[in-house]
Amino acid sequence: MSPPVHPPTNTQTGSSPNPSVEARFEQIYLEHYRAVLRFVRRRAHPLNVDDIVSETFTAAWVRRASVPSTPLPWLYTTARNVMLNSARGTGRQRALAVRMASFAAAPLDEVDHLERRLDVRAAFSTLRVADQEVLALDVWEDLDTRSAAAVLGCSRASYARRLTRARRRLAVLLEPPRGNPAPLLAPAPPTPPVRPPNSTLQLSRQDPLS
């Protein structure tokens, strides 16, 4: 079900009607509302999500004639700026922490997969906020290098370097510990195999060439 569209009226904005531009805004809203909502939910307090999404699309309405032909990175950039501006009231902030979704219980045959996802979640939460951001744009927002760099306001080369470093740091956190811990009790020595009687005779009968 698509979200209802409630753009400001032309009387409120003082602009003259332009059906083609207004139709494009409605299309942008319907196509990208849920993606922007997910983007904000991963980064903002739940009580602030609706206000941030609303402010993002209000900005899109005001600039509807100049929104790029590929609007989603622009919408992400706008939403990110809204969140950063609100966060700066409590201190300087240049990046946004990203939350991974919680996982529902898995069937028994998927326990190993679930444990791996929980390991990733725990490792991800310990990364620097800047690393979380670049990984989230790559994995969850599925943006290419150019679009992700635009969202973060950096060059493509800078984003690519940051993404490489973030992936490397996450991989290190996911590496299993080297070496096995010493057991509390020494294992019992293995029991030597018991040779059955006449084993040599039995083997020679089975293999006449020996």
Residue 66 CB contacts under 8 Å (≥ 6 apart), including other chains: none
- Both tokens of 123, joined, read 């490792």
pLDDT confidence of residue 198: 53
Q: Could you report the per-residue pLDDT of 58-110, keeping only the tens digit for each?
A: 999 999 889 999 999 999 999 999 999 887 655 555 677 887 654 444 444 44
How many Cβ atoms are within 10 Å of 29's Cβ, its own excluded?
22
Predicted local distance difference test score (pLDDT) of residue 2: 44
Question: Which domains are seen in the chain, by residue range?
Answer: 1-93 (1.10.1740.10), 97-176 (1.10.10.10)
pLDDT at 43: 92
Q: For residues 193 and 164, give the distance between their C-alpha atoms in angstroms, rounded to a whole number.
A: 53
Residue 178 has pLDDT above 50, yes or no: yes
Residues 120-173 have pLDDT tens digits of: 888 888 999 999 999 999 988 999 999 999 999 999 999 999 999 999 999 898
Can you give the pTM of this predicted structure? 0.69
Higher local confidence (pLDDT), 1 or 188: 188
- Helices (H) and strands (E) counted in the chain, each on its own, are 9, 0
Q: What are phi and psi of 149, to 5 degrees?
A: -65, -35
Ranges 54-58, 64-68, 182-186, 187-191: which has the least confidence: 182-186
